[in-house]
Structure 1
Amino acid sequence: MFGGYYSSMIVLIPAMIFTMIVQARIKRAFSTYTDIENSKGITGFEAARTMLDANGLQQVSINVLNGDALTNYYDPRSNTVNLSSEIYSQDSVASVCIACHEVGHAIQHATSYAPVKMRNALVPVTNFAQNTSWPLILLGIVLSSTTEYGNMFFNIGIFCFVAVVLFHLVTLPVELNASSRALQQMKALNLVDDSDYAGSKRVLSAAAMTYVAALATAAAALIRVLLIRGNRD
């Protein structure tokens, strides 16, 4: 039984290689455009504040975070845009487009964008599923030879993986839409020139691929579980 568990790991290798390539790409794009000053000389904070105010979101505050430069997020619970200190204070091409991407999420929240509502609803389910899927599967494998409950635990583990894949599937259009909103409004609000826009598109395209990689990894994990299931039957 455990032979199938270990041999099935081979399906994860392509997803792992793809993820490493994507991570290298986003780091390269960020490194390139974080060293290029945007044409307007504005910081990530200023760009985010301009975009928020232009969309009637004056009540959304912008917080500065300590930590990794790529740790930026919109928090729907506190209705805040949270930017790393580097993105918040620098006037690079990367800082502006990443800050505006997070504002894109704030606009999604304000306009009740359907995929966002679906993703938020899946968050608690996904947190549970990620923490319990493999323990349930391993418990199912161990118990399957001694009790009928083994198959039940194993099948619940499979459903947990399906929930994780569904979360990543819903997350992808949410992130793509936030980037699309950012690029459109950066141009409409005159926050970029043509050169800035091209660089911003490269940064956000590279960032979007990280969500494709996450989906690919989750799907590969589900395939692996189904292969284990097949080896047990």
Structure 2
Amino acid sequence: MYWIIFIGIALISWIVQSRFKNKFKKYSEFPLSSGLSGAEVAQKMLHDNGIYDVQILVANEGQLSDHYNPGNKTVNLSPEVYHGRSVAAAAVASHECGHAVQHATAYSWLQFRSAMVPVVSIASRLTSWVLMAGVLLMAFMQNPYVLAIGVGALFLTTLFSFITLPVEFDASNRALAWLDKANVTHSREEHDGAKDALKWAAMTYVVAALSALVTLLYYAYILFGRRD
């Protein structure tokens, strides 16, 4: 039963990722009538929100590597977003700046998420090995303790995935509201395109959270089901 669910989630994840990439490609070919580049959009949004201590950098990790780093206060944009003058570039740049605005205004969900990062970083590196060892110990020695540690670590990473959702949705809402207010997206078509691109970006986080939850429930079932 669980394998069917895993396959279903994997298929949905692939569909959503493909859909998002197709949307990004589509709106990357939709010129922004204001003519602003992603970097210019980012700078304008930061300044409009009274933020002057955040740097805008080009990320070198490749396509769709855009992110905000609260540790060093940098908005890192992929080359196609940094230099792009499209609806997609404006949407992604303003979304990442939405995180910078969250940071500047002490948005509670972002603070909670940031506080979890060090612990989750360690947990995510160890989880696979601990779960594997735990399952083997349960199978051959009926020892549940290592698996329990693995399930606990997996719970933390799953919780982190769900806490990420309000952070991402709020950043997109801030971005769309600002794009309209600042008249960066001049037409309804530009606004709808930016909204569509950000919607599919958010869906990738939703699918990731659901996948993490299914995995957690699977190992929790092994732990508690076999102990019963």
Give TM class, smaller chain.
Answer: over 0.9
Q: Is it true that 1:169 corresponds to 2:190 in the alignment?
A: no
Q: Which residue of 1 aligns with 2:185?
A: 192
Q: What does 1:12-51 correspond to in 2, within 5 Å? A: 12-51=6-45
Give distance in 2, aligned partners of 1:133 and 1:181: 34
Contact 1:67 1:85 (C-alpha < 8 Å) held by counterparts: no
Q: Give unpaired runs (5+ residues) of structure 1.
A: 1-6
The alignment's TM-score, normalised by the length of structure 2, stands at 0.93
Q: What does 1:1-233 correspond to in 2, within 5 Å? A: 8-144=2-138, 150-193=143-186, 194-229=188-223, 230-231=225-226, 233=228
**Which string of whole-angstrom CA distances, capped at 9 and with x for unpartnered residues, describes residues 85-144 of structure 1?**
110111011001100000000000000100001111111221222222232233223334
**Which string of whole-angstrom CA distances, capped at 9 and with x for unpartnered residues, describes residues 17-65 of structure 1?**
1101110110111010001101111110111111100111122110112
Give distance in 1, aligned partners of 2:40 and 2:131: 49
Task: Read off the aligned partner of 1:223 and give its amino acid letter.
Answer: L
Q: Against the structure 1 CA distance between its residues 219 and 206, is the aligned structure 2 distance closer, same or farther, given a 3 Å change threshold? A: same
TM-fit CA distance, 1:227: 2.8
The alignment's TM-score, normalised by the length of structure 1, stands at 0.91
Q: Give unpaired runs (5+ residues) of structure 2.
A: none
Give distance in 1, aligned partners of 2:136 and 2:79: 48
Q: Against the structure 1 CA distance between its residues 154 and 181, is the aligned structure 2 distance closer, same or farther, given a 3 Å change threshold? A: same
Task: Read off the aligned partner of 2:23 and give its amino acid letter.
Answer: A
Task: Read off the aligned partner of 2:106 and give its amino acid letter.
Answer: S
**In percent, how many aligned pairs have the same letter?**
38
Partner SS state of residue 63, structure 1: strand
Q: Which residue of 2 aligns with 1:3?
A: none
Q: Against the structure 1 CA distance between its residues 195 and 145, is the aligned structure 2 distance closer, same or farther, given a 3 Å change threshold? A: closer
**Which string of whole-angstrom CA distances, capped at 9 and with x for unpartnered residues, describes residues 174-196 of structure 1?**
00000000000111111112221
Contact 1:9 1:224 (C-alpha < 8 Å) held by counterparts: no
TM-fit CA distance, 1:223: 1.6
